[in-house]
Amino acid sequence: MATLKIIAGTVYGNAQHVAEQVEEHLASKGVDVELESDPSVDDFTGADAILVITSTTGQGDIPPNLEFVFSDLKDDAPSLEGKPFAVAALGDSSYGESFCGAGKQFHALLSELQGNPVADMLEVDAIETLEPEKDVVEWVGGISDKLVG
Ligand SMILES: Cc1cc2nc3c(=O)[nH]c(=O)nc-3n(C[C@H](O)[C@H](O)[C@H](O)COP(=O)(O)O)c2cc1C
């Protein structure tokens, strides 16, 4: 079965927690899933499918644990042609224009590298939900067949 790599970008642990819940949920459904919080470019190129779950920091910025791999992906520009991917972004709409900025940057970059987006980016607003893991697990349940089917 195809391996789904979950890439978690987090500052304070929310997105990490969400990613762990998603991993648990998918594993219980028999999906071959690996969670990575310190990824390299190889994690992206070697995966059969990619799920990025990331918060946003600063003003629309990528969390420090994904900063290096983001710039390495930009510099190396490996082909992810046809590779299914999806992005779930945790953010806070009170940040206005920079709402979910890190997720948007990842979605744009993986698209540029010719990945295949199986869904629109999910935006999870901290103002609207106290349980982001619920929203993300439910959303992933609806697209997991497209990621690893
Ligand atoms: C210093 C700081 C800056 C933030 N900047 C943004 C931002 O620019 N855009 C956004 O949508 N959310 C922003 N947020 C909200 C976080 O992305 C949100 O609270 C998220 O749930 C944090 O998840 P984490 O614990 O995985 O980092 C910011 C939060 C903090 C504390």
Per-residue pLDDT of the chain (149 residues; tens, 9 = 90+): 689 999 999 999 999 999 999 999 999 999 999 999 999 999 999 999 999 999 999 999 999 999 999 999 999 999 999 999 999 999 999 999 999 999 999 999 999 999 999 999 999 999 999 999 999 999 999 999 999 97
What is the 58 CA–ligand 1 centroid distance (Å)? 7
pLDDT at residue number 10: 98
Looking at the domain 3-148, which fold is it?
Answer: Rossmann fold (3.40.50)
Interhelix angle for 14-28 vs 132-148, to 10°?
50
Q: Which atom of ligand 1 is nearest to the CA of 18?
A: 26
* Residue pair 44/73 in contact by the 8 Å Cβ criterion: yes
pLDDT at residue number 88: 98
Query: Strands 84-91, 49-55: parallel, antiparallel or unpaired by DSSP?
Result: parallel
pLDDT at residue number 1: 65
Q: Which atom of ligand 1 is nearest to the CA of 99?
A: 11
What is the 3 CA–ligand 1 centroid distance (Å)? 29
pLDDT at residue number 149: 78
pLDDT at residue number 65: 98
Probe target for ligand 1 pocket from 53, 56, 99, with the most ligand atoms within 8 Å of CB: 56
Query: Which residues form ligand 1's pocket by a CB distance below 6 Å?
Result: 10-15, 55-60, 63, 90-92, 95, 98-101, 126
Dihedral of alpha carbons 2, 86, 131, 98, sign: positive
pLDDT at residue number 114: 98
What is the 149 CA–ligand 1 centroid distance (Å)? 32
